[in-house]
Amino acid sequence: MRPATGNPMRGIALKVSSVVVFLAMQTFIKLAGSDIPPGQVTFCRSFFALFPIMAYLGYQGQLRSAFYTTNPIGHLKRGTLGIISMGLGFYGLLHLPLPEAIALGYAMPLVAVIFAALFLGETVRIYRWSAVFFGMVGVAIISWPKLTLFREGGVHAEQAIGAISVLMASVLGGMAMIQVRRLVEEEKTATIVLYFSITATVLSLVTVPFGWQFLDLGPQLFLIAAGFCGGVAQILLTESYRHADVSTVAPFEYTSIVIGGVIAYFVFGDVPGRSTLVGTAIVVAAGIFIIYREHQLDLERRAARQAGS
Distance CA 15, CA 33 (A): 28
Per residue in 198-212, pLDDT tens? Answer: 999 999 999 999 889
Residues 6+ apart with CB under 8 A from 235: 52, 53, 56
pLDDT tens per residue, the chain (309 residues)?
A: 444 456 778 888 898 999 999 999 999 999 998 889 999 999 999 999 999 999 999 998 999 999 999 999 999 999 999 999 999 999 999 888 888 888 888 887 778 778 777 877 777 778 778 888 888 888 888 877 766 655 555 446 777 888 889 889 988 988 887 888 788 788 888 888 899 999 999 999 999 998 899 999 999 999 999 999 999 998 888 788 777 766 667 777 788 888 888 898 899 888 888 888 888 888 888 878 877 776 676 677 677 766 665
pLDDT at residue 183, as a whole number: 87
Distance CA 211, CA 191 (A): 32
Residues 6+ apart with CB under 8 A from 292: 247
Residues in the chain: 309
Per residue in 67-77, pLDDT tens? Answer: 999 999 999 99
Distance CA 105, CA 111 (A): 11
| 3-state SS, residue 208 | helix
The reply to whether the predicted model has a pTM over 0.95 is: no
DSSP 47-104: HHHHHHHHHHHHHTT-HHHHT--S-HHHHHHHHHHHHHHHHHHHHHHHHS-HHHHHHH
Q: Look up residue 293 and give its amino acid.
A: R
